[in-house]
């Protein structure tokens, strides 16, 4: 019998914060995610930096960029800080806040909204707080800011819909660091009585986090399948022994779901924007989530993430995602002259679970590197250029997820030549 498992939804039910979930048509086991019955797809980015930490733009500039580009929601997620309190940034020529940038802000938002004063005889600008930004930019049903933080220790974990700043774990161990930082968000959610979620960021950045390390933190339910920062090696790096993020997702899912059907891992796409002015490799507009929610409020959007009612995009827009006992259907929003290749990816029961250590050029095992597995893990079960794309379950899948590859190149891509892409969440069998 077909079942889909959504632990997050079960948790939400237990804590009493879930609302009606999915639109059902036909039999009880038919699930369709599409804009219907008052629900809408909302586009948002949950990973953004500003002058509150190491981004190069004032927060109002960042927020205005996303609003102008038609995003519905945005989380400013600066490192270990919320956009609260007072923070003054020096105004200096050839600095991230130059006199020209300040003039630009005055032109864009009015001089009355740019708070320049002198400190120790030197000019500074006071950053606008989330409260002020909400008053300036939010519009009911049109644009929303959701409070967030990039909890930045040995690993980086974004907490979304927070009420207070959370202090990063001091652990130098990847697994402990992730576990403690995700736990901070979960505890905060329980105490505050409102939905929150945490996603593990850029597992291929810097020293890296292996798929096995993420799989070993069952508390973690979300990770970035795609991060728009040019330095994060989404597609892997042979020299550094880093696996493709899709490969890592399949290893995590197989490790977890073969033991416990509730141990899902969702993939989110984000920008991790740092660079708003054309320089640098972490520019806005590369990766985002499309969330099917009841309305545009922080709790509704977060609850939809907790239910798994979202897909991740680096360009492709979907109309609907549906599944029942026999099939899984993904419909891309048609665009003239554009074709879509949809891959249904999964691991089947009885897979070859053998693996070997990845060794460096010196013959020694590489640390924080994903092991090498058989092709049974994350197999392309079916590929089609039909739209809608329909996969018929064979009956022995542990999970199935879809990756949609457009014939259209992505504008300002993560890597030159990238097509537009989307990823749906895994269906657990």
> Contacting Zn ion (CB under 5 A), which of 201, 234, 289, 322?
201
**Could you give the CA distance from residue 56 to residue 276 in angstroms, rounded to a whole number?**
7
Question: Minimal distance in Å, beta carbon 225 to Zn ion?
Answer: 15
**Which of 375, 419, 379 lies closest to 400 in space, CA to CA?**
379
Question: Minimal distance in Å, beta carbon 285 to Zn ion?
Answer: 16
> Contacting Zn ion (CB under 5 A), which of 250, 271, 272, 397?
272
Residue with tokens 């008053």: 135
**Could you give the CA distance from residue 418 to residue 413 in angstroms, rounded to a whole number?**
6
Kindly determine how many residues on this chain lie close enough to bind Zn ion according to the rule CB under 5 A: 4
> Contacting Zn ion (CB under 5 A), which of 156, 255, 401, 410?
156
340-348 and 397-409 strand pairing: antiparallel
Decide: is 21 part of the binding site for Zn ion (CB under 5 A): no
**Could you give the CA distance from residue 201 to residue 114 in angstroms, rounded to a whole number?**
32
Q: Which two tokens stand for residue 22?
A: 């999915």
Decide: is 199 part of the binding site for Zn ion (CB under 5 A): no
152/425 with CB nearer Zn ion? 152
Candidate ranges 114-122, 154-162, 240-248, 402-410; the one touching Zn ion (CB under 5 A): 154-162
201/322 with CB nearer Zn ion? 201
Question: Minimal distance in Å, beta carbon 224 to Zn ion?
Answer: 9
DSSP assignment of 345-383: EEEETT----EE--B-TTSSBPTT-PPEE-TTTTEEEEE
214/389 with CB nearer Zn ion? 214
134/275 with CB nearer Zn ion? 275
**Which of 270, 372, 388, 268 lies closest to 318 in space, CA to CA?**
388
Q: Write the CA distances from 302 to 174, 196, 316, 330, integer angstroms.
A: 26, 6, 22, 23
60/272 with CB nearer Zn ion? 272
Candidate ranges 116-124, 150-158, 259-267, 375-383; the one touching Zn ion (CB under 5 A): 150-158
156/369 with CB nearer Zn ion? 156
Chain residues that interact with Zn ion, rule: CB under 5 A: 150, 156, 201, 272
């Amino acid at each position: 019998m077909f079942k889909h498992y959504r632990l997050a939804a079960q948790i939400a039910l237990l804590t009493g914060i879930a609302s009606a979930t999915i639109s059902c048509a036909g039999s009880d086991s038919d699930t369709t995610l599409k804009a219907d019955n008052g629900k809408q797809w909302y586009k948002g980015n949950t990973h953004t930096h500003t002058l509150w930490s190491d981004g190069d733009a004032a927060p109002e500039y960042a927020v205005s960029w996303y609003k102008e580009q038609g995003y519905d929601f945005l989380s400013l997620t600066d490192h270990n800080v919320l956009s609260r309190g007072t923070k003054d940034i020096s105004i200096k020529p050839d600095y991230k806040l130059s006199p020209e940038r300040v003039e630009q802000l005055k032109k864009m938002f009015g001089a009355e909204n740019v708070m320049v004063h002198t400190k120790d005889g030197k000019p500074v600008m006071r950053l606008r707080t989330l409260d002020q930004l909400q008053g300036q930019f939010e519009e009911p049903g049109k644009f929303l800011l959701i409070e967030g933080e990039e909890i930045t220790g040995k690993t980086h974990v974004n907490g979304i819909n927070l009420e207070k700043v959370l202090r990063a774990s001091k652990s130098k161990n990847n697994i402990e660091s992730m576990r403690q930082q995700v736990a901070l968000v979960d505890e905060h959610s329980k105490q505050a009585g409102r939905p929150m979620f945490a996603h593990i960021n850029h597992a291929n950045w810097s020293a890296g986090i292996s798929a096995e390390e993420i799989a070993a933190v069952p508390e973690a339910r979300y990770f970035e399948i795609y991060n728009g920062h040019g330095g994060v090696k989404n597609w892997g790096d042979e020299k550094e022994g880093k696996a493709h993020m899709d490969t890592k997702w399949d290893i995590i899912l197989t490790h977890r779901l073969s033991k416990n059907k509730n141990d899902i891992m969702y993939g989110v796409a984000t920008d991790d924007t740092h660079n708003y002015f054309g320089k640098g490799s972490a520019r806005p507009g590369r990766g985002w989530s499309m969330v099917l929610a009841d309305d545009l409020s922080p709790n509704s959007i977060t609850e939809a993430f907790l239910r798994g009612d979202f897909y991740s995009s680096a360009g492709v827009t979907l109309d609907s995602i549906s599944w029942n006992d026999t099939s899984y259907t993904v419909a891309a929003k048609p665009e003239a002259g554009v074709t879509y290749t949809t891959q249904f990816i999964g691991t089947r029961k009885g897979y070859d679970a053998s693996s070997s250590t990845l060794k460096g050029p010196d013959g020694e095992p590489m640390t924080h590197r994903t092991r090498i597995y058989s092709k049974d893990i994350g197999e392309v079960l079916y590929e089609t250029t039909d739209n809608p794309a329909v996969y018929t379950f064979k009956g022995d899948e542990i999970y199935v997820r879809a990756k949609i590859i457009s014939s259209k190149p992505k504008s300002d891509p993560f890597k030159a030549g990238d097509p537009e892409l989307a990823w749906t969440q895994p269906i657990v069998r």
